[in-house]
């Protein structure tokens, strides 16, 4: 069509001079406003998790997010490049360390943090004397996969009826308890319950909470002395699992963090490569969008009834679930960015660019390798299969 459009280098020049400084400045202003609002509260409750830009062990970037649990607002997001942390496996700990240091420098103290079971994070928080709770979904998902695999065996099919109840029992054990020993006692009672035994030796939970009733289906109970019960016991009463159940979060979970990671995909898709500052600013944009819409209310119809929609998630395997329909998201932060860009940044871009230049930008991953001459690389290039031409 012979249309005249700007080149990528032109776009990057405009982004470096105007767009990225505007985004960075606005995020820092919004972040400081949140910090000042939370400082009178004393200690705060957080959730934290890392998102890698690609699956497996080949990720270049990892973004660690800290969310305030009471307001569902993103307080901080740290972008870590793999060569900064000494490898991909250490990025999550490094991102958490930077985030906690930033909060501490702004007089914000953490009461507790809800995370997954990353071993380096566990040790780091223990050394830093920060109380840690585990997200129930992460532990339940791992256990459910093992139980579902066991239930596929021919002699273990009776276990399939118990899978939904076992999932629900883990959530109930966490939500209905405040202390670790009580959570463990309620969880261990499940092993007796599936054998039709409803009194227990633990003083924290001596009897099942359900009403006494006689079951009509005697075949649903697991029989003592069977191989199935032995295998189930190894899974339900595993020492590591009991240790983790003791630290299950009884109030807040990291579900909202997963929703934020989905929002990031709109601003920074995983199949697109971005420079460090470009990636960081896109994360800030996603955080601004998420924070503005964190308190959206549920939609109501003309009759004043709350609106739901029926979903069939893959995790439910065809079972329907009701999902709330929220009001449409807003983008007021875009108007604020445009106002900042045209009234301040355009007039004096150097002041805003200096803020970006103060950031410690890590070297490219390829910088640690020697760059050979192009001719030498071509000369060493050997195809695995050489084409054979007919004579």
pLDDT tens track, the chain, 391 positions: 677 777 888 888 888 999 999 999 999 999 999 999 999 988 999 999 999 988 767 789 999 999 999 999 999 999 999 988 888 889 999 999 999 999 999 999 999 999 999 999 999 999 999 999 999 999 999 999 999 999 998 888 899 999 999 999 999 999 999 899 999 999 999 999 999 999 999 999 999 998 887 777 778 899 998 999 999 999 999 999 999 999 999 989 999 999 999 999 999 998 888 999 999 999 999 999 999 998 888 888 888 888 889 888 877 777 888 888 888 999 999 999 999 999 999 999 999 999 999 998 888 888 778 888 888 888 888 777 766 556 5
Tokens describing residue 252: 């807040």
Query: Residue 312 and residue 314: Cα distance in Å, rounded?
Result: 7
CATH class of 8-134+252-293+329-354: alpha beta
Query: Residue 183 and residue 204: Cα distance in Å, rounded?
Result: 9
- pLDDT value of position 391: 57
**Strand 131-134 and strand 308-311: pairing?**
unpaired
User: CB–CB of 345/22 below 8 Å?
Assistant: yes
SS3 65: strand
- pLDDT value of position 372: 86
Give me the helix-helix angle, 276-292 and 20-38, nearest 10°: 50
- pLDDT value of position 275: 92
DSSP string, 97-113: HHHHHHHHHTT-EEEEE
| Strand (E) or helix (H) holding 48 | strand 43-52
User: CB–CB of 74/65 below 8 Å?
Assistant: yes
Q: Name the pTM for this structure.
A: 0.89
- Looking at the chain, the domain(s) classified CATH 3.30.420.10 span 8-134+252-293+329-354
């Amino acid at each position: 069509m012979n249309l005249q459009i700007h080149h990528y280098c032109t776009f990057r020049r405009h982004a470096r001079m105007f767009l990225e400084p505007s985004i960075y400045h606005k995020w820092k202003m919004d972040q400081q406003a949140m910090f000042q609002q939370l400082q009178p509260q004393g200690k705060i409750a957080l959730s934290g998790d890392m998102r890698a830009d690609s699956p497996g062990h080949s990720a270049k970037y990892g973004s660690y997010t800290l969310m305030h649990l009471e307001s569902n607002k993103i307080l901080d997001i740290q972008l870590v490049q793999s060569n900064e942390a000494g490898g991909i496996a250490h990025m999550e700990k490094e991102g958490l360390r930077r985030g906690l240091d930033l909060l501490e420098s702004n007089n914000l103290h953490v009461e507790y943090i809800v995370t997954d079971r990353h071993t380096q994070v566990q040790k780091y928080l223990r050394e830093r004397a920060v109380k840690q709770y585990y997200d129930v979904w992460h532990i339940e998902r791992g256990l459910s996969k093992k139980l579902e695999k066991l239930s596929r065996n021919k002699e273990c099919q009776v276990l399939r009826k118990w899978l939904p109840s076992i999932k629900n029992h883990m959530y109930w054990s966490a939500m209905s308890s405040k202390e670790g020993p009580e959570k463990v006692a309620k969880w261990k009672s499940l092993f007796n319950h599936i054998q039709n035994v409803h009194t227990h030796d633990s003083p924290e939970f001596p009897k099942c909470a359900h009403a006494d009733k006689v079951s009509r289906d005697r075949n649903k109970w697991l029989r003592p002395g069977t191989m199935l019960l032995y295998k189930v016991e190894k899974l339900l009463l595993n020492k590591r699992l009991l240790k983790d159940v003791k630290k299950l979060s009884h109030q807040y979970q990291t579900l909202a963090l997963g929703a934020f990671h989905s929002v990031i995909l709109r601003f920074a898709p995983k199949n697109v490569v971005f420079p460090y500052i470009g990636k960081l600013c896109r994360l800030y944009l996603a955080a601004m969008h998420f924070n503005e819409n964190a308190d959206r209310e549920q939609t109501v119809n003309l009759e004043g009834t709350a609106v739901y929609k029926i979903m069939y998630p893959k995790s439910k395997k065809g079972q329907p679930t009701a999902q709330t329909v929220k009001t449409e998201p807003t983008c007021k932060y875009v108007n604020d960015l445009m106002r900042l860009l045209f009234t301040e940044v355009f007039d004096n871009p150097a002041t805003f660019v200096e803020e970006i230049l103060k950031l410690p930008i890590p070297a490219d991953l390829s910088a640690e390798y020697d760059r050979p001459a192009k001719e030498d690389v071509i000369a060493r290039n050997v195809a695995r299969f050489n084409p054979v031409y007919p004579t």
